[in-house]
Amino acid sequence: MTLNKIHQYDYIIIGSGFGGSISALRLAEKGYKVLVIEKGKKYEVDDFPKSNWNLKKWIWLPSVGFYGIMKMTFYKHIGILSGTGVGGGSLVYANTLPMPKDEFYNSGSWKDLCDWKTELKPHYEIAKKMLGSALNPKLGQGDLVMKDIAKKRGIENHFAPTEVAIFFGESDKEVDDPYFGGKGPRRSACTFCGGCMTGCRFNAKNTLDKNYLYLAQKLGVEVIAEQEVYDVHPINNANGQDGYFVISKKSTSLLKSKSTFSTKNVIFSGGVLGTMNLLLKLKKKKLPNLSNRLGMDIRTNNEALIFNITADNSYNLSEGIAIGSILDVDKSTHLEVVRYNKSSGFWRIGMLPNVEGGNLFHRIAQLISKYLTNPLAYLKITTVNNFGNKSAVLLFMQHIDTKLSFSKGLFRLKTSLTEGKKPVSQIPLAYDLAEEYSKKIGGKPMVFLSETLFNIPSTAHILGGAVMGDNIKNGVIDKYNKVFGYKNLMICDGSTVSANPGVNPSLTISAITEHAMNNIPYKRDI
Quick: pLDDT tens for 12-69: 999 999 999 999 999 999 999 999 999 999 999 999 999 999 999 999 999 999 999 9
User: What would the pLDDT profile of 61-99 be if each residue is shown by its tens digit?
Assistant: 999 999 999 999 999 889 999 999 999 999 999 999 999
Q: What is the pTM of this model?
A: 0.95
Q: Report how far residue 17's alpha carbon sits from residue 87's, in angstroms, rounded to the nearest whole number.
A: 5
Q: Report how far residue 59's alpha carbon sits from residue 52's, in angstroms, rounded to the nearest whole number.
A: 8
Binned at pLDDT 50, 70 and 90, residue 494 comes out as very high
Residue type at position 503: V
User: What domains are defined for the chain?
Assistant: 9-520 (3.50.50.60)
User: What would the pLDDT profile of 138-185 be if each residue is shown by its tens digit?
Assistant: 999 999 999 999 999 999 999 999 999 999 998 778 999 999 999 999
Q: Report how far residue 142's alpha carbon sits from residue 120's, in angstroms, rounded to the nearest whole number.
A: 33
Q: Which of 246, 223, 324, 270 is nearest to 491 (CA)?
A: 270
Q: Average pLDDT in the 406-412 region?
A: 87
> What pLDDT is attached to residue 323?
97
pLDDT exceeding 90 applies to what percent of the chain? 80
How many other C-beta atoms are found inside a 10 Å radius of the C-beta of residue 476?
29
Binned at pLDDT 50, 70 and 90, residue 200 comes out as very high
Q: Report how far residue 202's alpha carbon sits from residue 270's, in angstroms, rounded to the nearest whole number.
A: 27
The answer on pLDDT for 410 being more than 70 is yes
Binned at pLDDT 50, 70 and 90, residue 420 comes out as low
Based on the residue annotation, tell me whether 461 is a catalytic residue of this protein: yes
Which of these is catalytic: 7, 123, 461, 515? 461
Cβ contacts of residue 379 below 8 Å, gap of 6+? none
Q: Report how far residue 450's alpha carbon sits from residue 471's, in angstroms, rounded to the nearest whole number.
A: 39
How many other C-beta atoms are found inside a 10 Å radius of the C-beta of residue 408?
18
Binned at pLDDT 50, 70 and 90, residue 2 comes out as very low
User: What would the pLDDT profile of 355-364 be if each residue is shown by its tens digit?
Assistant: 887 788 888 9
Q: Are 472 and 489 in contact (CB under 8 A)?
A: no
The answer on pLDDT for 3 being more than 60 is no
Binned at pLDDT 50, 70 and 90, residue 426 comes out as confident
User: What would the pLDDT profile of 428-438 be if each residue is shown by its tens digit?
Assistant: 888 899 999 99
Helix axes 506-518, 116-130, angle to 10 degrees: 110
The answer on pLDDT for 5 being more than 90 is no
CA dist list (Å): 129 to 93, 133, 161, 384, 504: 18, 6, 18, 41, 17
Beta pairing partners, 335: 327, 396
- Average pLDDT in the chain: 93
How many other C-beta atoms are found inside a 10 Å radius of the C-beta of residue 50?
15
